[in-house]
Chains A and B, each alone.
Chain A
Amino acid sequence: MKQKERKFDALIGHLSDDLYRFAFWLCKNDALAKDLVQETYLRAWKALDSLRNEKAAKSWIFMILRREFARLFERKVPPITSLDDLEYDIEDTKPMQPDDKVEVDLVRDAILKLEPKYSEPLMLQVVGGFSCEEIAQQLGITKSAVMTQLFRARSKLQTALTRESKIGKAL
């Protein structure tokens, strides 16, 4: 048991913060995200013996989280498309200048408006740090489809950011 605990901690123990961030943007709710991460770790603990390639532990646990989300949480997620609808007050990891904070909030607002097919690959890339090949494996789509979705996701976010900035300057 001790050996299993050590292996578990070494492989995925340090990933809880990234998993929480990924879960938060999937659920758009702090409590659900916390529950989802806990469920994910429980599942991972039970299935640890089935992990053949230890180098793929990160992909493995993100995959578990996505499956748990689809299995238990997807239906509970309220439709949120704006930061104003978010009940949870997002706390940033770093203190920011007011201008930067405005830009970050604009991007967050735009992320909430993205369709899951665009936001999910982007989250996996930015939060999870996965390559396009790994994202393709996770989502079960081709690498070129992932690249297209990433391209469109960033384009949408940049367009939103530029538009809102122009409105801000005009005011």
Chain B
Amino acid sequence: MNYFEFRQQLLQDSFTKDEEFHRLRKEDLRCAKAYEQAMAFEKTLKSAFGIKPPSNLKDSIVLRQATQHTVTRSIRNYAIAATVFLSFLIVSSVWYLKQPGSVEQFIAASIALESNVPMSEQPIALQEVKKVFAEFKTHVSDNIGEVRFIHDCHTPGGTGVHMVVATSQGPVTIYYMPKTNLKKDRIDFEIDDAKAVLVAMQQGSLAIVADTQQQLAAIEPMLQNNLHFL
């Protein structure tokens, strides 16, 4: 190490433990002087960086940690409460949606009250059927099947029509509910072993109850196509 390297070392790290550096510091006068000047500069540099920290620094650190801890815990508690509440809300909503609506309940109750499906021996004339529907401002445009029973009856919101149509697979019970508007176009449900469907119409809705899905599939479009609100 020569004098210039020594000076370079002073500007890089004057507190180096390099033996050669310290030997020169002690033996070479120029190096010793440079070292002395460097030490004076380092003292000034240390003082320049040496500012006094705020007296409350440690307290503020502890306070920040304590506050943050409390805030984190509060947030966690709120999060747990919100999760429980939302879970409850979701479970309740699912449960509520699975519950039968008032129309389904009415149909189920009506079916339960009938010990036997009322049926005449002969089919009822189409004119007679049209006459009953006309009272509800509804026109029957074509044959709607072999009607074996038709009568006005109580339905949710007002009077409607109770009708039984005979099919090759057995009777199908139909309720026309002119004052009942459904939230969906179609709601499938079951009453004991029977299949039931609520269908939204131009005016009101229809409830069709049958023993099999095939019967429903046959009757539903026929009624939708032939019943017209006037």
8 Å CB contacts to B: which residues of A86-141? 90-94, 96, 100, 103-105, 107-108, 111, 122-123, 125-127, 131-132
Contacts A20-B57, A147-B13: A127 and B49 contacting too (C-beta < 8 A)?
A: yes
Contact B48 A108 (CB under 8 A): yes
- A116 to B: closest C-beta gap in Å: 15
B65–A94 contact, CB under 8 A? Answer: no
Q: Determine chain A's interface SS by DSSP, over half rule.
A: helix
Report the separation of the CA atoms of residues A132 and B65 in the bound assembly, to the nearest whole angstrom: 33
Quote the shortest CB–CB distance from A23 to chain B (angstroms): 9
Report A-chain residues with C-beta under 8 Å of the C-beta of B49. Answer: 21, 25, 111, 123, 126-127
Please, which residues of chain B bring their CB within 8 A of the CB of A37? 57, 61
Task: Report the interface size class on chain A.
Answer: 35 or more
Give, as a whole number of angstroms, the nearest-CB distance from B100 to chain A.
Answer: 52
- Asked if residues B47 and A38 are in contact (CB atoms below 8 Å), the reply is no
Residues of A within 8 A of B51 (CB): 21, 24, 90-93
How far in angstroms is the closest Cβ of chain B from A90? Answer: 5
Given A41-B64, A104-B48, A111-B48: A16 and B53 interface contact (C-beta under 8 Å): yes
Query: B residues within 8 A CB of A25?
Result: 49
B12 within 8 A of A: yes
Q: Least Cβ distance of B123 to chain A in Å?
A: 82
Q: Does B41 contact A (CB under 8 A)?
A: yes
Q: Which of B13, B46, B48, B68 has the most CB of A within 10 A?
A: B48
Q: Which residues of B contact A16 (CB under 8 A)?
A: 53, 57-58, 61
**Is B48's CB under 8 angstroms from A107's CB?**
yes
The answer to whether B61 touches A38 (Cβ under 8 A) is yes
Task: List which B32-67 residues lie within 8 A (CB) of chain A.
Answer: 41-42, 44-54, 57-58, 60-61, 64-65
Would you call A57 an interface residue if the criterion is a C-beta within 8 Å of the partner chain's C-beta atoms?
no
CB of B64 within 8 A of CB of A151, answer: no
The distance in angstroms between the C-alpha atoms of A42 and B71, with both chains bound, is 13
Q: Give A residues with C-beta under 8 Å from B.
A: 16-17, 20-21, 24-25, 30, 34, 37-38, 41-42, 45, 90-94, 96, 100, 103-105, 107-108, 111, 122-123, 125-127, 131-132, 147, 150-151, 154-155, 157-158, 161
Beyond A25-B49, A126-B49, 11 extra complex contacts between A and B, CB < 8 Å: A38-B60, A41-B64, A42-B68, A93-B52, A105-B48, A107-B45, A107-B47, A108-B48, A151-B11, A158-B41, A161-B41
